[in-house]
Chain A
Amino acid sequence: MRTTLLAGLLVLLSSLAALSQQAQTPLANPGTADPSPMQAVLQEQGALILKSSRKTISPAIAALADSGLPEAQAVLEAWQVKALWMRISDGMFFRGEKLDSKNYRLFDFDTGQAVGDVAKSDLKQIKPNSGIRALIATALVQFQLSDPDPARRADALLAIERAPGADLLAPLRASIEGEVDPVLQARKRRIAQLLTIAYDSDVPRRVATIEQMSGDLGLDLRGTLNPLVTTGLQAFAGQIPEGLNVARRVEPGAGALSQDAAYDILVAAKLAPARLSSDEIRTTLAAHIEGGRVGGVPLAQLNKEDARTRAYAALVKAGQAPALVSAAQISARLNAHVFAEIYDEPSAVMTHAAQAALKTIATQVAVGQAVDLTLDALSLASIYFLAAIGLAITFGVMGVINMAHGEFIMMGAYTGYVVQQVIPNHTVSILVAVPLAFAVTFAAGVAMERLVIRWLYNRPLETLLATFGISIALQQLAKNIFGTQARPLTAPGWLDGAWIINDVVSISYIRIAIFMLALIFLGVFLFIMRRTRLGLETRAVTQNRGMAASMGINPERVNMLTFGLGSGIAGIAGVAIGLFAKVTSELGSDYIVQSFMTVVVGGVGNIWGTLAGATMIGFFQKGVEWLNPSNTLAAQTYMIVFIIVFIQFRPRGIIALKGRAAGD
C-alpha cells in the first residue's frame, strides 16, 4: 500500500517535470482532421496525450482502448514503447521508426503505410512515464488476452496477477471461451475466479466462487480472501450506525483493548480531548518557573510525581495551563462510546463466506506446514548426520576424539571451491570434487593419525587437546590462504530450485540431494563395517587389540585406515555442506559441537544411534524454531539444554550398549 503511494508520488513528480519541458510545444490543430478514424480519435485526445500526466491520462487511454477500432492495439503498443510521434507541423500522430540518429520514418496507423521520412527536429516523441506505461499495459491486456501469440497471452495474465483491477474482469471472462491452450485456459479461469471474488458486484456470485475455491492452498487465493476480512477498530458515540459490517464489539479495559488505547482512538477520531503527556506537563511546568517555584512548589521538590501534580494543579487554578483530563473524565468518555471492529468489506455475507473459506484453508495449511516442517527437520537431520558420520567412525568406533574433525569438513568444502576454480562446469566440478575431497582429507587424516594420534591412544583428554591444537592451526591456515571472506561453492544448475508440492510444502532439490547423500553414506558405512575386510579388522581391533594383533591383523594399519576413512567422509560431507552454507574457515567449528552431540546423544559406537541422534536433534531444533521462528539462536540454546537433560535419562545415548561390553 505504502509503496504504491510512493510510486504514484514519484510518477507525479516526474510528469510535472515533463510538463514544464513541454510548455513550448505547439498544440495540435484539430482543424486538419483526417478522415481516417484512428487518427481522429488520436486528435480528439491529443491534448491529454501531449500533457502526458498520470493523473489525467486515463480518459485518453480509455478512449483509444474502447474505440472499437482494430488499430487501437497497435497505437497503444507503439505508445507504450515510446514509438508514438507527433508531426509538429500539423499535430498528426504516427508510429515512428528510427532510420539514423537524425531521421525517422513515419507510419500511418489507419493504413499501416509509410508516410515519409522526417527529420527528428520536426517531430515530437510522446514519452510515457512508467505510471502511464502501466496504465497502457492494463488497457492492452484486453487485446493481449486474445493475442494469437500464447507467450503474450501469458504475459497479459501475469500483468493481471500483478495489478488486478475491477475493469479487467469483463475482458478476462470474455477471453476464456476462445482460449485454445488448455493450460492458459485453466489459468484464465482461476484468475477470473479470483477477480470475481475481489471485484464482482454480484454478491451471490462472489460467495459461490469463494465456496467453489474453498480448500485451495494457493497464496493468490489467500491474498484475495484476506482483504475481505480485514477490520478496523472504530469508536461510535452511542450506537453503532446501521449498515456497517460489524465484526465484534470491544469493551475497553477488557481483553485486547486497554483503556488507554481506547481513549487514544477517541482522541484520534476527535471524539475526546487529548491527554497531556508527562513530557508536556514538564514543559508547561518549566515555562512557568517564577523565583525558583512553580505554582508555589519549590523546584527542588519537583522530582516527585505528586509534587508535580500539585504544581500543575496550581497552574491550572491560576488559569496558566489547560486542565488535565482526569481519570473520571476518561471513563465517562469511554462509557459514552461503543467500540467495535468493523469489516472493511461492507457485505456481511461476503465476510462470512471468506472467513469460512479461510478457516478451511488454515486447517489444510497447518497440515501442509507440519509436512513441510517434517521435511525441513529431515533435511537438517541429514546435515547433522553427514557432519557426524565421520565422527561416528573416529570417535564412535575408535574412541578417538578428534576436535579437528570440523576442520576436515572445512577442508572438503575448500577442496570443492578450488576445483570449481579450475573446472568451470559445476556438474563436472562437483563430480571431481567429491573424490578429491575424500582423497585430501583421507590423506590429512592418515597424516594426523600417524604423527599425533597414535601416540595418544588411551589418553582421550590429551587427544582432545592435541587435536584442538591442530584444529586452530588448520583454521588459521585456511584463513591465511583463502582470506576471511566467504567463498562460493556453487551447486550445479540441476540442483537449483525446489520441488514444490503446493504453496505451503516445498523442498529444495539440494536438500533432497543431501538427504540422498546421507542415505548413501549410511549404506556405505554399513557396507564397509559389515561386509569388508577393513570393517572386520576395525571391529576386531576395537574390541580386543591384542587378540586382533595375535591373529595377524596389523592394528597400526587398521587404525590408520579407519581414521583416514572417517576423515575422508568428513571431506565429502564438507563438499555437501559447502553447497548450501558459506565456505569460510569457521565452517567446521560451526558444526563440531553439534556433531559431537549427535554422536553422544545417539549412543557411541553405533551408527543407528548416530542416525537416531541426528534425527532427534534435527527434529527438536526445527520444532523449537517453529515455536519461535524469529530466533534460531534460541533454538540452539534450547537444544543444548535439552541434550543436557536428555543425558540424565539416557547417559549412554539413545541406542546404548549395555552391561560389561559398554565398559566404563
Chain B
Amino acid sequence: MSMLLEVSGVSVSFDGFKAINNLSFAIGAAEMRAIIGPNGAGKTTFMDIVTGKTKPDAGRVIWGERNISLLGMSEARIAREGVGRKFQKPTVFEDQTVLENLLMALRAPRGPLAVMFYRPSPVDLTRVEELASEIGLLEALQRKSGELSHGQKQWLEIGMLLAQEPRLLLVDEPAAGMTPAEREHTTAILVEAAKTRAVVVVEHDMEFVRRLDCRVTVLHEGAVLAEGSLDHVTANSQVIDVYLGR
C-alpha cells in the first residue's frame, strides 16, 4: 500500500533541546492512527512539522502519490495540499456565525480576488447544511460561534476541517473537556471520516483511543517508541516504563 504521508529521519531542536529526534512515521490514504505519549514527547511539534509551522533541522516529509516534499512549503500551501489540522483548544472564529465559519473552511479557491467575488452557491449551502447536521449544529448555523458550548466548538472545528476536504486530518486531543455523550459523537465523526481519508489523533485518554480501535504510535522523547494495536503497545515493557507505568 502506498503511503499518503511519510516522515523519515526528522529531527528538530530548540536551544539545544531535541524536541524531535530522528522520527519516522507513515500513514496510508484511508487510515486512522492514534499518537500517544507523555507530555513533552513531541506530539505537538510533530504536527507543527507536518503542517509547516516548524522547519525541521533534518529529515524528509513526503506527501501524496507524486511524492512531493512538504518541507519549504508555507502553512497555507500545505493546507491546500490537503492537510487539515485541529488545535488542542477549540479555535473557531468566535466573532462569526457557525455558517460563516463553515463557509470559510469550505473547499473553494483561496485567492483574495476569488474570495472577494465569491458568493455561496446553492450547492455550497447544501454541503454546509450536510456538514452542520453531521456535527449536530444545524440549528445553530446563524448563531455566533462564541456562544457555543465547549464541545460544540470542538465539533465546529472538526466540521471546518471536514469542510476543507483534506486528505489527512491531524486532530489534537479532540475529546478534551467533553461529556461522555459528546465523546461518543466525536468518535463517530472521526471513525466516519477515516473511511475516506487519513486521520491522525493525538490523545491522552486511553479509553478514547481504545474506542477509536486503530493502530497506535507511542512517542517518547521525540522518537517512536512502539507502534501497533493498542493492546500490543500497552503490553510493551518500555511503554509501560515511560508512560503507562507512572
Contacts and interface: CB of A to CB of B under 8 A. Distances in A.
Nearest to A659: B14
A658 interface: yes
A661 interface: yes
A660 interface: yes
A661 B17 CA distance: 11
Contacts of A661: 14-15
Nearest to B14: A659
Does more than half of chain A's interface fall in helix, strand or loop, or is it mixed? Answer: helix
A658 B15 CA distance: 6
Given A660-B14, A661-B14, 7 more contacts: A658-B14, A658-B15, A659-B14, A659-B15, A659-B17, A659-B19, A661-B15
Contacts of B19: 659
Interface string B13-48: 011010100000000000000000000000000000
Does more than half of chain B's interface fall in helix, strand or loop, or is it mixed? Answer: strand
Contacts of B15: 658-659, 661
Contacts of B14: 658-661
A321 to B, nearest CB: 68
Contacts of A659: 14-15, 17, 19
Give the contact-size bracket for chain B. Answer: under 10
A651 to B, nearest CB: 14
A502 to B, nearest CB: 48
Interface string A637-660: 000000000000000000000111
Taking each of B14, B17, B19, which has the highest tally of chain A beta carbons within 10 Å of its own beta carbon? B14
A658 B19 CA distance: 13
A465 B29 CA distance: 50
Taking each of A658, A659, A661, which has the highest tally of chain B beta carbons within 10 Å of its own beta carbon? A659
9 contacts: A658-B14, A658-B15, A659-B14, A659-B15, A659-B17, A659-B19, A660-B14, A661-B14, A661-B15
Nearest to B53: A664
B114 to A, nearest CB: 28
A629 to B, nearest CB: 44
A658 B17 CA distance: 11
Contacts of A660: 14
A434 B58 CA distance: 54
B170 to A, nearest CB: 18
A223 to B, nearest CB: 60
B194 to A, nearest CB: 30
Q: 5 nearest interchain CB pairs?
A: A659-B14, A658-B15, A659-B15, A660-B14, A658-B14
A661 B16 CA distance: 12
A659 B19 CA distance: 10
Nearest to A660: B14
Taking each of A658, A660, A661, which has the highest tally of chain B beta carbons within 10 Å of its own beta carbon? A660
A74 B141 CA distance: 112
A22 to B, nearest CB: 93
Interface string A41-76: 000000000000000000000000000000000000
A283 to B, nearest CB: 63
Nearest to B44: A660
Nearest to A657: B15
A661 B19 CA distance: 13
A660 B19 CA distance: 10
B40 to A, nearest CB: 11
Nearest to A658: B15
A41 B109 CA distance: 111
Contacts of A658: 14-15
B17 to A, nearest CB: 8
